[in-house]
């Protein structure tokens, strides 16, 4: 059966107060954005508590896949809708029974299933109440299709019939990504590497309505052009959900080599990380971002112990650092990476700058005062190097 409509559900937005319309407007914009890239003709409308997509000449799988990238949606329901007549009246109970029986017959060729009818009567002027309608519609379905059976506790099919400004009939609720509509919570700067964790962190923060920019620290010739392409591909994964990602590519080679020459090698990763955070914060300020995002998880590697995180966090002066996977096990992160189709790209064997310059025996419990003291070895040239790195920032606009 080719459905001609989708009913789109949201949850958390419905808890908002007088500013609820702001979130609904943002959600509508994102729905229209993703549908513009789909084949077919779509009309998106909104009523209290529901968003409708009228669809013609479209590809079902393509459309559902696109809608599943819209943060804020919790349910995508392929539906049949029936408008009021010229007098503004809904179909009579008898006509409604005929429509519902036809729906069940068309959608389910195999009738050897159990079902339950759940009615929501928003239009209280309708002559029968919800319980009466559910009873009568169930009886009509059994009369037309006697191979069906009723199971009110654990049915194979839960048929929803809504009496609103129109009749809505649907029996499938395809999960949406949840979260909050993009653009309702400001902007943040993601430190994006070629690994598994940082794309997941970016996705999770974007899911809360945050627009994402990203910064990648490149180290040619120690990192290849293919490593850079890998990061662009990961940014493109995030852009499936955000529409676009502005990716800053910072040449970090000179800074890395200077740190390598001047600082203890067991502290290389921590000190390099501190300068990445400094540069990311400077870029974030220029872009009006309200925070940094990292994929750090406590104890996963030497640079992510509590002591190491304290040292890297200390250089960020003017904004919070969001670490959405901070308490996740690695498998938890991998599961989300697989879900958003980032995993196969993340595991490609192209090293980033942190991996290449890691010490054989990195310090796991660095002391902030000692790290700051050793950074004093860099004072002659490091500020000019940082300025040069920012001035030569390569900006790539990534779209899905």
Instruction: Give binding residues as ranges.
Output: 191-192, 216-217, 273, 295, 304
Q: What angle do CA 153, 159, 162 make, to 5 degrees?
A: 120
* Strands 157-163 and 114-121, sheet pairing: parallel
Nearest to 364 by CA among 293, 292, 311, 286: 311
Contact 290, 188 (CB under 8 A): yes
Spatial distance between the Cα atoms of 165 and 194, rounded to a whole number of angstroms:
50
The DSSP bridge partners found for residue 80 are 169
- When computed from its CA atoms, the radius of gyration of the chain, rounded to whole angstroms, is 27
For 162, the token pair is: 């809504």
Spatial distance between the Cα atoms of 114 and 216, rounded to a whole number of angstroms:
54
Phi, psi of 308 (to 5 degrees): -65, -40
Binding residues for ATP: 191-192, 216-217, 273, 295, 304
Sequence-distant (6+) residues with CB within 8 A of 67 are 6, 8, 31, 34, 35, 53, 73, 76, 176
For 399, the token pair is: 């779209």
Spatial distance between the Cα atoms of 90 and 84, rounded to a whole number of angstroms:
5
Spatial distance between the Cα atoms of 178 and 12, rounded to a whole number of angstroms:
8
């Amino acid at each position: 059966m080719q459905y001609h409509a989708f009913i789109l559900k949201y949850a958390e937005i419905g808890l908002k107060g007088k500013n609820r319309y702001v979130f609904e407007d943002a959600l509508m914009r994102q729905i229209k954005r993703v549908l513009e890239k789909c084949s077919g003709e779509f009309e998106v409308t909104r009523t209290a508590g529901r968003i409708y997509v009228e669809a013609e000449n479209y590809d079902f799988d393509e459309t559902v896949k696109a809608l599943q990238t819209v943060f804020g949606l919790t349910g995508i329901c392929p539906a049949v809708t029936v408008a009021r007549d010229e007098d503004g009246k809904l179909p009579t109970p008898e006509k409604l029974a005929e429509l519902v029986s036809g729906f069940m017959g068309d959608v389910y060729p195999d009738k050897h299933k159990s079902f339950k009818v759940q009615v929501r009567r928003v239009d209280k002027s309708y002559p029968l109440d919800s319980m009466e309608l559910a009873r009568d519609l169930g009886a009509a379905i059994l009369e037309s299709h006697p191979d069906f059976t009723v199971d009110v506790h654990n049915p194979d099919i839960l048929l929803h019939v809504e009496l609103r400004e129109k009749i809505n009939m649907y029996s499938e609720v395809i999960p949406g990504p949840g979260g909050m509509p993009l653009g309702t919570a400001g902007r943040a700067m993601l430190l994006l590497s070629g690994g598994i964790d940082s794309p997941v962190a970016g996705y999770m923060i974007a899911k809360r309505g945050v627009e994402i920019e990203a910064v990648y620290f490149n180290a040619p010739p120690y990192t290849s052009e293919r490593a850079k392409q890998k990061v662009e591909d990961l940014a493109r994964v995030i852009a499936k959900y955000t529409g676009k990602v502005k990716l800053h590519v910072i040449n970090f080679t000179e800074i890395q080599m200077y740190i390598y020459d001047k600082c203890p090698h067991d502290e290389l990763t921590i000190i390099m990380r501190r300068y990445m955070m400094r540069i990311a914060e400077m870029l974030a300020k220029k872009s009006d971002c309200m925070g940094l995002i990292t994929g750090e998880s406590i104890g996963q590697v030497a640079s992510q112990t509590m002591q190491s995180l304290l040292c890297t966090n200390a250089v960020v002066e003017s904004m919070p650092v969001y670490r959405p996977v901070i308490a996740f096990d690695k498998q938890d992160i991998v599961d989300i990476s697989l879900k958003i189709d980032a995993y196969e790209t993340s595991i490609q064997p192209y090293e980033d700058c942190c991996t290449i310059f890691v010490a054989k025996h990195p310090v796991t419990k660095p002391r902030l005062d000692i790290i700051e003291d050793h950074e004093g070895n860099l004072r002659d040239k490091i500020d000019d190097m940082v300025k040069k790195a920012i001035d030569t920032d390569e900006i790539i606009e990534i779209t899905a």
